[in-house]
Amino acid sequence: MITNTAQETELELLFQAKIDTEQKIEPKDWMPDAYRQNLIRQMSQHAHSEVIGMQPEGNWITRAPSLRRKAVLLSKVQDEAGHGLYLYSATETLGISRAEMITALQTGTAKYASIFNYPTQTWGDMGAIGWLVDGAAICNQVSLQRTSYGPYARSMIRICKEESFHQRQGYQIMIELAHGTPAQKEMAQDSLNRFYWPSLMMFGPHDSESAHLARSMKWKIKRETNDDLRQKFINQTVSQINYLGLDHPDKALQWNEERGHYDSSELNWDEFYSVINGNGHCNRQRIQHHVKAHEEGAWVREATAAYNLKKQLKLARDAA
């Protein structure tokens, strides 16, 4: 007789074989519960980041310096809402409801990207966010296009295309400021100085401190490690800073011929952990704002549910 444990072991072996041969795991496939939970954690946090990430930029829609800039920023912020929508929908395929995910965000059980707890003080910050924050996100998300869970991988393909546009619009703002008046150049430098370090923290703790890394790599949820992705981003940003004619915020940055990479300063990990544990500059404000918007939107959710019910009833009656 085959026992439950033996069957589970075989299922796990078959599951890992599928991953090892680059086949995607789809919603109705068998998967270990820890795989499902790990994905729910990462994907829902990714969705929350997209949605909370609308707030720092939303802050500047009414103060954009021209109608064209306003339209572009508005469109970018709307894209982020769309990314949240794809990701929440993809996460729902794992058996968790949207309401459960929102509660986890609002009660602090689920995290969102640390970067969005930093305030946006000037128009230059819109340039720095598009260029560096979306740039860091792309670096990570390009590799997530090959993640093992089908719905997550597919959502990443579209999101990456849109993020590339976001990065270009941010870099274009930086080009204009950096090549503008001395005051504009100073604004660009100040935004770079403030957003450079938090952008590097978006990749998470060092690999040696990353709680989920080993299993996520084995299951190919993550395709590259936190430190490898961060290094890629550091390398690619050097020439972009040079082109802008700005000073690199990392005074210790040095090309290492042997490694073929730039060596850089250590990040302020106390600051990172303080921010992800809820004590960043804007953590409370971001969540309060989310709760307020969610409560104000209750009538929309109720109206949609009532409309769907009516539609279902009509379909059922017509079919009867």
191 contacts ligand BYC (rule: CB under 6 A) = no
244 contacts ligand BYC (rule: CB under 6 A) = no
The nearer residue to ligand BYC, 9 or 268, going by C-beta atoms, is 268
The nearer residue to ligand BYC, 179 or 284, going by C-beta atoms, is 284
Q: Mask 219-238, x = binds ligand BYC (CB under 6 A)?
A: -------x------------
45 contacts ligand BYC (rule: CB under 6 A) = yes
Q: Which of 73, 178, 241, 276 binds ligand BYC (CB under 6 A)?
A: 276
Q: Which of residues 96-155 bind ligand BYC (CB under 6 A)?
A: 111, 113-114, 129, 133-134, 137, 140
Q: Which of 53, 124, 127, 280 binds ligand BYC (CB under 6 A)?
A: 53
- Least separation in angstroms between CB 293 and ligand BYC: 15
Q: Are β-strands 254-256 and 261-263 bridged in parallel, bridged antiparallel, or unpaired?
A: antiparallel
Q: Which of residues 62-91 bind ligand BYC (CB under 6 A)?
A: 80
- Least separation in angstroms between CB 34 and ligand BYC: 13
In angstroms, the CA 320 to CA 317 distance is: 5
213 contacts ligand BYC (rule: CB under 6 A) = yes
Q: Which of 44, 216, 231, 264 binds ligand BYC (CB under 6 A)?
A: 216
Q: Which of 19, 25, 39, 50 binds ligand BYC (CB under 6 A)?
A: 50
Shortest-Cβ-distance residue relative to ligand BYC: 53
Buried b / exposed e over 252-268, threshold 16 CB at 10 Å, is eeeeeeeeeebebeebe
211 contacts ligand BYC (rule: CB under 6 A) = yes
Per CB under 6 A, residues contacting ligand BYC are: 41-42, 45-46, 49-50, 53, 80, 111, 113-114, 129, 133-134, 137, 140, 201-205, 210-213, 216, 226, 276
